[in-house]
Structure formats: structure tokens, C-alpha cells
Structure 1
Amino acid sequence: MTTPTHAPPFPPAKIYRLSTAFWHSKVILSASDLGVFAQLGEGPATAGELADKLGVQSSAFPVFLDALVAMDLLERDGDRYRNSAEADYYLVPDKRYYMGTYLGFVDRFMRPTWEGLSEVLRTGKPQIPHPPQQDAPEGEGAEFFEQTYADPNLQRMFIEAQDALSSEIAWELSRQIDWSRWTKIVDLGGARGNVAGILLQAHPHLTGTVFDMPPLEPLFAEHMARLGVQDRARYQGGDWFDDPLPEGEALLCGHALHNWTAEQRRTVISKAFDAVRPGGAFMVYDLMMDEERSRLNPLLLSLAMTLSVGGSGYLGSECREWMREAGFVDIVAVPLKDYDGHTVVIGRKPM
């Protein structure tokens, strides 16, 4: 190795930033776990007052709070802290779009899963490392969902985490798609109906059916009542591959195809074609990769699916081709304006 005789031409800024990105995520995850946002939801407080109420003893707690201020999650006025507008809206329990359960899911399952990335890339096999709780789900693909849904506590955690991810997308779908063309929608793999419920809230002429695994039906009924659309929504439990899909004028499939192989995706899309009424539409929304594979979030999602359930991401052009093969026509891709930049691919079934 030669000895350098001059300073580096540029600093390793990206390497520093990316190698410590977990510092940022762990601060917000710990703040939610400790109850910082929940406590400040009751009003501003000093570091000492917060520490007393939360049972925190570390002398580093004020620094921890100041880090949250620097991250724009808290605000400080003198020696008193309060939630930022975003934290107050999304991280205080019992609020409609509360994301604290999602943060718990990230910390408990998603973060440990990524620690196995090197091994998954070496072996080509999904591995799901997780904290040593007795009730942590194991397995891959369908087994992961079956085991997660079999435990009521894990079931609720997982579903509330999915709601946190889907709410923004649902409102974008409600605004960017012309729903006046249809009266009956079906959400395939719709969990407890968060997307369908928001669409029914936004468009009172719609009725909806949610299709997912049978154990979720009680959570569906509870959530539809909370959203005030229970009289226009129904649930149908079943299996994607073994059971016929519910019929409707417009079928949605979101955040599902990335769980499976390309052949399984073709099977589901073909079954969706059979279930769409003539003249109706089928929509797939997901964080799809662009042709140049240049957008980071879809690439990271693809890795996450490989790690957790053995699936993968896919290109928007691949989705359009699968729909064309199934018989759909007039296929278009509509970019949504959500934070991550999802895409919805829409195809029409000929009359």
C-alpha cells in the first residue's frame, strides 16, 4: 500500500451519513417506546418532569430530547418541550392516524430482520431473525402471515402497522382516480379494510368488499364501525390461490404482489380478471421499481420482501405485462403523490 502524500479530494460524507442512519431511527423508535410523544400529547413539560413521569433515570435524557428537537420531532421553548405538529398528529396514541404501533413493529421485527441481510444474500434463503419473544412469528411467505394472524396481539400490531402505511396511499387513490365510474369495489388482501374504508368515506356512493384471511374479520368489523362505513362494507375471508375472488366493478390489489413469485402474481392477476365485471377495472398499487432501477425506496422494499417473506419488488412494466397477459386492455400507470412515490397500474376488462 502506498502512503498518501496529499489530502483526500472529498470527504466520505455519504459513508458517514449512511453508516450511522440507524442512530436516527433508533432515537425515534425509543422515544415512542418510552412514551415521550404520548406524554407530551398531554402538554409541554421540562426534561425533569418528563423523566419523572416516564420513569427515566439517565442523565443523558436531556440530550436525547434535544436530539429529537434537532430531528424536528420535538420543539423547545426555554426549558420546556412539546411535540412538533407532525409528532402530535401521528405519534400520540388514540389519534386516527397514530403510527406508534408501526414504529413498534419496525423496532421489533423489521429492524432485526435487516441484520440478516448479508446471510440472505449469501444463501439466497429468507431468514427472519427477531427478538427472543416467545410469540415472534417465524417462517416465510404464507406461513409468516398465518402465524402472525394466529396470535391476537401480533395480529393487531401487524394490522395497525399496515394501516399506518396505507392511509396516505388510500387518500391519494381517492383523489387521483375517478371513482364515479363504479359503485362496487373489492379490495384484495385489504387486511382490516383501511384502504377500502377511506375510499368509502371519500365517495359515499361506493360499497366495498374486503378479501383477506379469515382471522381478520373481527378487526375489520371494528375498524369499519370506527370509520362509520359499516353499512356499506362487507368482509369475505379466503385464500388467494384456493378460493374464487369476490366479484366487483373495480378490484384493488395493494402491497401484495411483492410477497410472491412472478408465476404466483400471474395466477392472482388471472383470477382477478375473472372476478372483474365486464367493463370494470383492476388496479395494482405498490412501490414499483422504475426501469432504470434508480429510485431507492422501491429497491429497499424489494430487499425487505426478500428478507422477510421470500418475495421481491418488480418493475411497473412487468406489472403491465402480467395484466396484458391476463386479458386487460387500456392499461395505464398512474404515479401517486404520496411520500414514497407509489404507482397504481390500472387495466380495463373488455365488455
Structure 2
Amino acid sequence: MKRPEQFQHSRRALLGAALAMPFIGTARAQSYPSRNLRVIVPFAAGGPTDVLTRIAAERVSPALGQPLVVESRTGAGGNLAGEFVARSEADGHTLLVAGQAILAINKALYKKLNYDPATDFAFVGMLGVIANVLLVNPAAVPVNSMAELVALAKQKPGAISYGSNGAGSLTHLTTAILAHQAGVQLLHVPYQGAAPLMTDLIAGRIGMAFTATSAALPLVQSGQLRALAVTTGQRSRFAPNVPTLVESGFPTLNAPVWFGAVVRASTPAPVVSRLRAEFDTVIKSEGYSQALEKQFMEVMRVPPESSEQFLSAERALWSDAVKLTGVSLD
């Protein structure tokens, strides 16, 4: 049993430690960053996520005074990268660039997840978006608009096939929401990658599919495929004559492919604030916007104070879509 003076001494020590904690966080922020920053990308080098990350990293690096080293950690639909950053040291030296899969879809899609996107990460900034384009093969699906597509699908339930990047992928879930809201039945054909999907779409072995603007526009311009809609809330600057799904009667399908940067949730607040400020300065710059345009990407800003609301809405949207499909992955 502690003597009274021992108790008082222990209480003073605990109080002192508690009062010192904010100053420790401030001290860390003042010396931050003290070494290279690792930026984890959940997909292979050379893909859109990797390219976008490198565009941002090379511009943020001078402001932070340390190199931002981009590192790919692929596998399990992004879950390996998500778990790695969720378990990394919470000092702001390890960032994750992630999109809907890690931050909004996988929690509902996978039976077991070793991280929680809602509690394990702190939002740094939105790096950019890509519009997906709904393409049809005009020989297989002879329509010129979303209204005509819906009418044809109602006439022939289950006859129109669509390709996706796999069960539970963004393209699969977007089409599932579309079919549900339109009240039609479509035949899902999952693929292992975009290349075989596009080969079959061009050949007419499937009737329709969503794919990124960069891959879609050359095929539309050549007349091989027809664009019916884009998934961004506003028309894409790269395809101004193609209506949005929102315009076409699907008000909740503002569903671009977005990419955001996050760190561990327990990272000291001054460090998170520094990262947010430096990334925001870069994202608002004209040079950054111009670099994204060359990749058929656009800037999308989500202020930190609105990030939780944005991410919560995304999780609700894609959780409902997963339920519609009935897909569950191990």
C-alpha cells in the first residue's frame, strides 16, 4: 500500500507527463520531417495511382525539405497497403495514397479486414480524380443515350452484358447501382484487367463497360465505341459533349475515380496540419493542374474539415452497392 507522500509524488508525475504531451507533439512537428517520407501506393508502378502520386510527390518534396519516396505494395485489392500504413509508426513519415477501394469499399466487401478505414487514417488531401466513361459497342448495343440504353435493357432483361475489373471493383459496383436505379437486369462479366475487357468490348463479345477517360476517348474518336455518360458530377473537360450520369437521371451516381492521401490517425496534429498545408498549396497550383491534364485527370479539392463527411457518404454509397451485388470476398 502506497504511503501518502508516495501517492502525491505519483500523482504529480502523472500530471506532469500529461501536461508535457502537447509539447512533445509540438517538438516533433518542429523537427518534422527528419528523414525521407515513404508514400505507399496500393497498385503497380506505371498505373494511374502511381503516376498521380509521383506528380504530387515531386512537388511537395521541396516544401517539406525531404524526398518523398513512392513505394508500391500491391495485393488483396489494396488491403496490404492499407494494413501496412495503418500499422506504421504514427510520425507522419509514411503516407498512403488510396481511393474508393481502401477508404470506402473494402470494409463492406471483405469478410475480414486488418484495418478500419474510418478510424485508422487521418485525411491529408484529395490528389485528383479520373472520370470513368460508360462505353457501348454500337453493333452489340445499338443505342445513343442512357434513356435508349435503359429502354433496351427493359425490353431484353439480362441480355445486355457488361464487363468490369472484377467482382467488387468500382466499375462493377457503379454498374450495379445504375442497373438497380434504372430497374433493369444486366449480365455481369468480370475480368482480371482492363486490357482483356476492352478487347472483348471492341470485338462485341460484351455490350458495355465503364473505363477511364484516357482509354475511352481514343476508341470513341475512332468510332469503335460510343460514349453514353461520364461518372463525374460535372461534365469532363476532356469529353464536354458527353453527359454525366447525374444529368441522365441518376442523381446519386456522382462516382469518379478519386485518390486521396492519408496518414495514421494517431499522427500528431501539428504534423498532419503541416502535411495538409503543403499538399493543399501544391494541389491549388496551376502547374499541378496542368500536369494532371496530361494524364486525363482533374483536380478535386476536399477541405480537411469536410473530409469526414465526404468519406462517410462514400462509405454509405459503396456499402449499399456491395449489398446489392451480394459479393463477399475472403
Higher RCO (CA < 8 A, seq sep 6+)? 2
Category of TM-score, reference length = shorter chain: under 0.3
With the length of structure 2 as denominator, give the TM-score of the two structures: 0.26
